[in-house]
Amino acid sequence: MKKAAKKRAAPKTGAASGGLLSSYDTGGYWCELQGHSHHALAASAELARRLDSFSISELKKRSNAATREFMTLGVTFTVYSNRDQVDRILPFDVIPRVIPAAEWERLERGVVQRVAAMNAFLGDIYGAQKAIKDGVVPADLVFGNANYRKEMQDLPVPHGTYIHVCGTDIVRGKDGRFRVLEDNGRTPSGVSYVVENRHLMQRAFPDLVQDLPIRPVSNYGQKLAEALSQIAPAGVSDPQIVLLSPGSFNSAYFEHIFLAREMGVPLVEGRDLVVEADKVFMKTVGGMAPVHVIYRRLNDDFLDPEVFRPDSMLGVAGLMRAYRKGNIALANAVGTGVADDKAIYAYLPRLIRYYLGEEAIIDNVETHICREPEGLKFTLDRMDELVVKPVGESGGYGVVIGPRVSKRELAEARDKLTANPSNFISQPMIELSVSPTLCGRTIEPRHVDLRPFAVTGQSTWVLPGGLTRVALRKGSLIVNSSQGGGSKDTWVLG
């Protein structure tokens, strides 16, 4: 007993005399907590004060408990190796990232604007094609795009919404400015982590969360279900919504489960659905039941073997017939991949101006299109300074970070680029902002990005905050989960 008392009496490092964050060094990057200063920014001051009273051991202990809880709950993504299925959790960092209300409101408007422009663009290219005729976008970028679906031509969609769920990847550079890095307008994932991370923080860190004006995120399922109801075929008052998943081997299967659960709708696979007389039904214990709206987490290619890949075992034969007849609504619509393509991305500021008559609220990262001679020359001249990205890949695959690779790797990348320039874009290297992160037994800066989620039916709603992905390896700029990234709870405060 005496010993314990003595141990307790030893002063815990307090806020004033070197607390948890006292030896934290931003490394010269923009820090989400401190900016370029050495103390917390106004919006984060209270969080920093509370964090400072934690010991590393306590933080570590709670972090471990949180990890265990994620495993028990099965908040996992699935990785396959040697035909064995391994469930991994997306590593979770316990130090939240804060977005001040004023900054968030601008981001929110910027995201809404972008989604509006992309939807207008999709409506146009699958309709009158004015932007192409007016020379805003080169025709071959649209029609030559692997994600362009001629089946969508002249097919009206409810409220002109093609992209019902959009995940916009936003980064902050050394100058503290937000820029859009990428749009995900097909089947963006990650929103389940936003909600689960928050729930976990509330359970594991009641003392951090308590009484702070954190904007809630747990109504995402409700908002999504509302938007999906709004796009139901005409005349259907109580639509049957389902979520279409490729199945349990898909890496995002947990998210599919999560979304179906949050909305209270069946999580179906292709084999559960049938099309009869151009209408979609699901096989229930009581026979066939009509389906009106499908939130699909299956790529276009696999959706309907009659129209797209004939070898698809995951889709539903006849789905496109039902779609074209207006008997079923699909979210996201078919063919949205044209708008989130890395090549079209470069044109988005111009498309915002063209369709909305506005300037982009959030800038793009400066982008060079290698299919254009000047873009190619610019890129080849500065390969050691630029990040070169293949336009067709996702998940961070094939990205070459000029300043970080060896001469040999650079030469290989140059060969690939010259062999097929139209497959690449390049961007200056953004020194992503950092956020204090628990690494072993210290708090270190780690690079982060942000993926807010926008849900659009009749209008657009943005989930406050979004998924903050964090590159857990020291110095790494790659935040993708498939490349060893983790995530953080993201607080919009005030």
Partner 1 sequence: MARLLARFADCVFWTARYVERSISLARVLDVNQAYSQDAKGNRNWQSILTFYADEERFAELYKQLSADAVIAFYTTDPRNLASIRSCLRQARENARTIRPLISTEMWSQLNALHRKIKPLKASSVTSKTLSNFATLVKEGCQTHVGITMETFYRDEAYHFYMLGQQLERADQTTRLLDVKFAQLRAGATEMGSATDVSQWNALLRAAAGFQAYRRRHPVTAMSPQSVAHFLLLNPMFPRSLLCAVNGANDALNALRREAGLTTGARAQKRLRAFQSALMDLDIDEIMARGMDEAMDWVQRELNEIGDLVTKEFFGRS
Residues that bind partner 1 (CB under 8 A): 71-74, 240, 248, 257, 260-261, 264-269, 271-272, 282-287, 289
98 or 260: CB nearest partner 1: 260
29 or 258: CB nearest partner 1: 258
117 or 260: CB nearest partner 1: 260
68 three-class SS: helix
CB of 265 to partner 1, least distance (A): 7
132 or 257: CB nearest partner 1: 257
What is the CA angle 220-447-257, rounded to 5? 30
17 or 81: CB nearest partner 1: 81
CB of 9 to partner 1, least distance (A): 38
Spatial contact of 492 and 104, defined as CB atoms under 8 Å apart:
yes
76 or 129: CB nearest partner 1: 76
CB of 245 to partner 1, least distance (A): 10
CB of 291 to partner 1, least distance (A): 10
CB of 254 to partner 1, least distance (A): 9
Q: What's the burial of 311, exposed, middle or buried (CB within 10 Å: 0-12/13-18/19+)? A: exposed
What is the CB-side half-sphere exposure of residue 90 using CA atoms within 13 A?
29
CB of 261 to partner 1, least distance (A): 4
CB of 200 to partner 1, least distance (A): 13
Question: DSSP labels for 357-417?
Answer: S---SSEEPP-EETTSHHHHHHHHHTTTTEEEEETT--TTTT-EEGGGS-HHHHHHHHHHH
Spatial contact of 258 and 196, defined as CB atoms under 8 Å apart:
yes
283 or 377: CB nearest partner 1: 283
85 or 153: CB nearest partner 1: 85
CB of 231 to partner 1, least distance (A): 18
Omega before residue 197 within 30° of 0, cis: no
Token pair 């969508």: residue? 152
CB of 238 to partner 1, least distance (A): 10
CB of 323 to partner 1, least distance (A): 21
Cα distance between residue 322 and residue 303, in whole Å: 12
Residue 436: closest CA among 9, 156, 79, 30: 30
16 or 285: CB nearest partner 1: 285
What is the CA angle 119-124-127, rounded to 5? 125
CB proximity list for 275: less than 8 A, separation 6 or greater: 281, 316, 317, 318, 319, 321, 322
248 or 442: CB nearest partner 1: 248
Spatial contact of 159 and 188, defined as CB atoms under 8 Å apart:
no
Cα distance between residue 406 and residue 429, in whole Å: 16
Residue 486: closest CA among 139, 103, 197, 102: 197
Cα distance between residue 324 and residue 278, in whole Å: 9
Cα–Cα distances in Å, from 473 out to 30, 278, 476, 485? Answer: 18, 51, 5, 8
CB of 115 to partner 1, least distance (A): 27
Q: What is the dihedral of CA 170, 66, 214, 474, to 10 degrees?
A: -30
137 or 228: CB nearest partner 1: 228
